[in-house]
Amino acid sequence: MDRTFIMVKPDGVQRSLVGEIVTRFEAKGLKLAAARFEKLPEVRVTEQYQEHLTKPFFPSLKQYIMGGPCFLMVWEGRNAVAIARKLIGATNPSDALPGTIRGDFGIDIGRNVIHGSDSPESAAREIAIHFRQNELVTYTRIDESVLYEY
Q: Give me the pLDDT at residue 4, please.
A: 98
| Catalytic annotation, residues | 115
Domain extent, residue 64, equals 2-136
Domain assignment of residue 150, yes or no: no
Number of independent structural domains in the chain: 1
Domain assignment of residue 144, yes or no: no
Domain assignment of residue 66, yes or no: yes
Domain assignment of residue 141, yes or no: no
Domain assignment of residue 76, yes or no: yes
Domain assignment of residue 51, yes or no: yes
Whole-prediction pTM value? 0.96
The domain that holds 97 is classified in CATH as: 3.30.70.141
> Mean pLDDT per 10-residue run, the chain (150 residues)?
97 98 98 98 97 95 97 98 98 97 96 97 98 97 92
**What DSSP line would sit under 48-99, residue for residue?**
HTGGGTTSTTHHHHHHHHHTS-EEEEEEEETTHHHHHHHHH--SSGGGSPTT
